[in-house]
Amino acid sequence: MSPRSRMGELEQAVLETLWDAGSPASGREVHERLADRDLAYTTVMTVLDRLVAKDVVARERDGRAFRYAPRRSRAAMTADLMHEALEGTGAERDQALVSFVGEASADDLAALRRALADLT
C-alpha cells in the first residue's frame, strides 16, 4: 500500500501545502498556509511529524527549527495510487485499464498518447 493511500484528510492537506510551497517550508509557514482551517500550531506539527515517520516528508534542520519537504512529487505519488489500484484488480487488470481510458477526457487521452509515444 502506498503512503498516500494511508493518509488522512489533514495529512493530505498538509502534504498538498508542502507541494504548493515549492521549496522546504517551516512548520510555522505550513500552519499559516492552512489558516483557513483554524488548526492549532501543535496540530500541524503533529501531522508533520507523522508524515516524517511515514517517510512521506523529509525534515531538515534550519537553525533551531526544521524545514519540511515532500520526498516525492505529487505526480509520483499519484502514479503509486494508480499502480496500487491496478494491483487490486487481479485478472481484471485489462478491463480496469480499458474502463479508465474509456472515461478519460480528451486532454487526458492526449497526455496518454504523448507519454506512450515518448516510451517507444
Amino acid 9: pLDDT: 94
Q: Which CATH number fits domain 4-70: 1.10.10.10, 1.10.3720.10, 3.40.50.300, 3.20.20.140?
A: 1.10.10.10
Q: Cα(19)–Cα(13) distance, rounded to whole angstroms?
A: 10
Could you tell me which of 101, 99, 98 has the C-alpha nearest to residue 111? 101
Q: Cα(22)–Cα(73) distance, rounded to whole angstroms?
A: 10
Question: What mean pLDDT do residues 1-29 have?
Answer: 87
Amino acid 1: pLDDT: 47
More confident position, 89 or 65: 65
How many CB atoms are closer than 10 A to CB 53?
9
Domain boundaries, the chain: 4-70, 74-119
Amino acid 13: pLDDT: 96
pLDDT digits (tens, 9 = 90+) for 80-111: 888 888 887 777 888 888 898 899 999 999 99
Cell 505519488 found at: 77
Instruction: Give the full edge-to-edge strand order of the sheet including 65-70.
Output: 25-26, 65-70, 57-62
More confident position, 2 or 44: 44
| pTM listed for this prediction | 0.77
